[in-house]
Amino acid sequence: MAVVIVVGVQWGDEGKGKIVDLLTEKARLVVRWAGGANAGHTLVVDGKKYVTRLIPSGVLREGVTCVLGEGMVIDPAVLVDEIRTFKAQGFIAAGRDLVVAERAHLTLPHHLEIDRLREERPGGIGTTKKGIGPSYESKAARVGVRVGDLLRPDRFRARVEALTTALAPYIRELGGSAPSVAEVTKKYLALGEELRPFVGDASRIVHDAVVRRDNVLFEGAQGVMLDIDHGTYPFVTSSSTTAGGACAGLGIGPTKIDRVLGVAKGYATRVGAGPFPTELNEEVGELLRKRGNEFGSVTGRPRRCGWMDVAAVRLAIRLSGIEAIALTKLDVMAGLDRVRLCVGYRLGGKTLDEMPVDLDDLAAAEPIFEELPGWPELAGSSIPPAAAGFVERVSALTGIPVWATSWGAGRLQTIVTQDPFSAS
């Protein structure tokens, strides 16, 4: 298996958690490289549901070390809560089960307050209000506070003071008030003590595992279409969601990566504002939302539903060098008479094979749809012929193999047709 990156190829919520959990059977390390507590996964194992916020999906496997990489922004209150919850359920039993990068940045109350205040104003982009964007802003402005600072009380206090000085005028301008330095210091140093056994040099730990030829799985958060550089800006997340982001986020050279896999849903969803040309605003959209339980795992917000946009998937495949994909939630589409795929766009007399990312172009572009027959529920272990036709069509249109299809949230509700590590 070696070193594998898994990314969502749409707008997040593709069911990466389930697919990564399946793949972690063979992994020693499961690593997250970007984002923060805005990227929950839902895992269903033996009928029991587990929700992760910051910790990668490998948490349920014995012998797997979960790594929160340097490129992430970490809310210590959320992480401590998550660690306590998983510990109480018998996971994260040993210190080596979890590594938190000492150079990752912190999400502090200042960032939560800014995110909340901005989203309450007109023009909010529909963030998860978990403080992620503002945390990355502080990082880029060089006023951020890092995980390692939590373990050095004097330095932490000084960094929180500097952060507060930098952000207080802006928070006041937004109509709020900056958190108290004394209160933040007291509360977060206590959280830091709980995190101390896990804090380390994540980059070196991952590097050493790669050199040992351990199986290492990089788990993407959100989806490639939400990438800060390559997505539909400004309706994007604040970090790199492409496979290349994994190298930057962990400080691992691209030459060390063996394989890049993608996860796509058989339809598409998007949370928050932003263009979504294949959106279904009628009955079928409502049906997919209900049957697919398309409500944010972090915020509970209803997700917008639409047909699968193969032109967007193609773009994601190119941006991340994806070599094979898993298609999830085909059970949710079962029972539809006909299903559709957006296979390209028409814009200004031209046909585009990739989704345009410029907002004006995207608004003006007309999706080109192809219609295929729908399929019934899965009976037994073989894919209904019409669903197999859909899968083949997706594979032909994207130019890469579909190595697995998913027919439910459980580990066993998966049909693997190819070894993802040999598919090409």
Catalog residues that contact ligand GDP under the rule CB under 6 A. 8, 12-18, 40-42, 44, 292, 297, 328-329, 331-332, 406-409
Residues 90 and 210: their CA atoms lie apart, in Å, by 28
Which is nearest to 36 in space by CA: 110, 84, 104, 87? 104
What phi, psi does 366 have (nearest 5°)?
-110, 120
Q: For ligand GDP, give the closer residue by CB, 12 or 306.
A: 12
Residue type, 116: R
Q: Identify which of 36, 221, 5 has the alpha carbon closest to the alpha carbon of residue 138.
A: 36
Sorted by sequence, the CB contacts under 8 Å of residue 247 that are 6+ apart come out as 253, 254, 256, 257
State in angstroms the smallest separation of the CB of 241 from ligand GDP. Answer: 11
Q: Which is nearer to ligand GDP, 48 or 212 (CB)?
A: 48
Q: How far is the CB of 334 from ligand GDP (least distance, A)?
A: 10
Closest by CA position to 409, among listed 303, 301, 291, 299: 291
With CA atoms as reference, report the closest residue to 411 among 29, 42, 4, 165: 42
Minimum CB distance to ligand GDP smaller for 145 or for 228: 228
Closest to 58 measured CA to CA, from 1, 132, 9:
1
CB of 332 to ligand GDP, least distance (A): 5
DSSP string, 247-307: HHHHT--GGG--EEEEEEESEEEE-SSS--TTB--SHHHHHHHHHTT-B-TTT-PBPEEEE
Identify the active-site residue in 13, 115, 149, 227: 13
Contacts of 316 (CB under 8 A, 6+ apart): 7, 9, 10, 223, 224, 225, 262, 322
- Write b or e for each residue in 284-321: b if 16 or more Cβ atoms lie within 10 A of its Cβ, otherwise e: bbebbbebbebebebbeeebbbbbbbbbbbbbbbebbb
Asked about 207 being catalytic, the answer comes back as no
Question: Does residue 113 sit in helix, strand or coil?
Answer: helix
Answer whether 273's CB lies under 8 Å from 322's CB: no
d(CA 27, CA 64): 7
| CA 38 to mean position of chain CA atoms | 8
Name the token pair of 197.
């056994």
Question: Which residue do the tokens 């009928």 mark?
Answer: 47
Q: Are the CB atoms for 62 and 267 separated by under 8 Å?
A: no
Catalytic residue among 21, 41, 97, 227: 41
| 41 given a catalytic annotation | yes
Catalytic residues: 13, 41
